[in-house]
């Protein structure tokens, strides 16, 4: 009798496992369809549909989030803005990876999506790495949380890509460039320590001497102690290349100094590297050539 019961359990277990997997297969299909609804809401710029696919108590992070987003209203404020004229926005997507695990009426979904969009600058493609938290409420699956990040491939692409700055974006960069020069001539150590990072490396005019942060600070102090003053500083020509958070500034420079009533004009070319850190431009290197 016991032997017969044991064989029954062995035979019945695979059937139960298969039935459970069938149930989960239906859930997988439902969740995948729900995620497709969200993407289609973005493509069709359907705010009502986008709101309907997210739980009222939604919690998580979206691409570029610096703080936690709470509630569907917060989600819509962060992502539910669509171009009023309908010219720009998401145009398509393709799943590269997609899987999920379940615990009762909760599911953890992980996927990678290649997303295409139309922007004022032209077609744009990025790869997103997303993890969604789904719960089953009133018999239906709904997104209750998410974390959306750029895939490392897109992060690398952004860091490598050449980009242009608007006039408004150029201003703080050029202001930082001029601030470095003026702080040096003024012997303003506090300003220089703020603008020049520890790893500063320079190639100076007049023989191509190499310098570092300490030699630059010392040189500024000597200039100020000499009694010399800056009376004119100009950059007749400037060109900028920007890659990610790094900007290379090419300049023709002219400056005039005065000592004991005598003035001296110097000119040349400078190649300066700036890096955006903590919301401000710092100057980790330069190469200067004096005029002939």
Residue 292 has pLDDT above 70, yes or no: no
Transcribe the chain into DSSP letters: -HHHHHHHHHHHHHHHHHHHHHHHHHHHHHHHHHHHHHHHHHHTT-HHHHHHTEEEEEEEE-TT-SS-EEHHHHHHHHH----TTS-SEEEEEEEEEEEEEEETTEEEEEEEEEEEEEETTEEEEEEEEEEEEEEEETTEEEEEEEEEEE-HHHHHHHHHSEE---HHHHHHHHHHHHHHHHHHHHT-HHHHHHHS-TT-EEE-TTT--EEEHHHHHHHHHHHHHTT-EEEEEEEEEEEEEEETTEEEEEEEEEEEEEETTEEEEEEEEEEEEEEEETTEEEEEEEEEEE--
Same domain, 177 and 81: no
End-of-domain residue from the set 134, 157, 180:
157
Same domain, 177 and 122: no
**pLDDT tens per residue across span 72-94:** 999 999 987 787 778 899 999 99
Same domain, 145 and 229: no
**pLDDT tens per residue across span 279-288:** 999 999 999 9
Q: Are 41 and 50 in contact (CB under 8 A)?
A: yes
Same domain, 76 and 28: yes
Domain residues for the domain of 246 are: 163-290
Gap between the Cα atoms of 138 and 51, Å rounded: 17
Same domain, 279 and 167: yes
Same domain, 8 and 148: yes
End-of-domain residue from the set 96, 123, 157:
157
Same domain, 93 and 111: yes
Q: Are 112 and 151 in contact (CB under 8 A)?
A: yes
**pLDDT tens per residue across span 206-261:** 776 899 999 999 999 999 999 999 999 999 999 999 998 999 999 999 999 999 99
Same domain, 254 and 205: yes
**pLDDT tens per residue across span 117-161:** 998 878 999 999 999 999 999 999 999 999 999 999 998 888 888
Same domain, 9 and 153: yes
Same domain, 168 and 51: no
CATH classification at residue 18: 3.10.450.50
Same domain, 6 and 126: yes
pLDDT the model gives residue 10: 41
pLDDT the model gives residue 85: 78
Q: How many domains does the chain have?
A: 2
Same domain, 19 and 142: yes
pLDDT the model gives residue 209: 86
Closest among 163, 165, 173 to 244, alpha carbons compared: 163
Closest among 223, 230, 220 to 265, alpha carbons compared: 230
End-of-domain residue from the set 157, 184, 199:
157
pTM of the model: 0.68
pLDDT the model gives residue 7: 43
């Amino acid at each position: 009798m016991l032997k017969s019961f044991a064989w029954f359990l062995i035979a019945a277990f695979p059937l139960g496992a298969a039935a459970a997997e069938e149930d989960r297969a239906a859930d997988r299909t439902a969740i995948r369809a729900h995620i497709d609804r969200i993407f289609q809401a973005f493509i069709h710029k359907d705010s009502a549909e986008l709101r309907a696919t997210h739980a009222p108590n939604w919690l998580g992070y979206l691409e570029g989030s610096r703080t936690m987003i709470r509630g569907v209203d917060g989600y819509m404020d962060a992502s539910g803005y669509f171009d009023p004229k309908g010219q720009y926005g998401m145009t398509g997507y393709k799943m590269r990876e997609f899987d999920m695990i379940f615990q009762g009426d909760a599911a953890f979904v992980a996927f990678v999506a290649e997303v295409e969009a139309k922007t004022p600058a032209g077609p744009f493609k990025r790869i997103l790495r997303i993890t969604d938290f789904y719960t089953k409420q009133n018999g239906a699956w709904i997104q209750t949380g998410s974390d959306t990040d750029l895939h490392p491939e897109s992060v690398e692409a952004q860091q490598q890509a050449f980009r242009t700055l608007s006039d408004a974006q150029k201003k703080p960069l050029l202001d930082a460039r001029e601030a470095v020069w003026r702080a040096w001539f003024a012997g303003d150590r506090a300003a220089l320590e703020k603008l020049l990072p520890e790893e500063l490396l320079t190639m100076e005019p007049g023989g191509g001497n190499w310098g570092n942060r300490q030699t630059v600070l010392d040189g500024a102090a000597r200039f100020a102690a000499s009694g010399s003053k800056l009376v004119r500083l100009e950059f007749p020509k400037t060109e900028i290349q920007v890659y990610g958070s790094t900007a290379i500034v090419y300049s023709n420079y002219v400056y005039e100094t005065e000592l004991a009533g005598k003035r001296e004009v110097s000119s040349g070319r400078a190649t300066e590297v700036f890096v955006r850190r903590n919301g401000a431009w710092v100057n980790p290197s330069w190469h200067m050539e004096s005029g002939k």
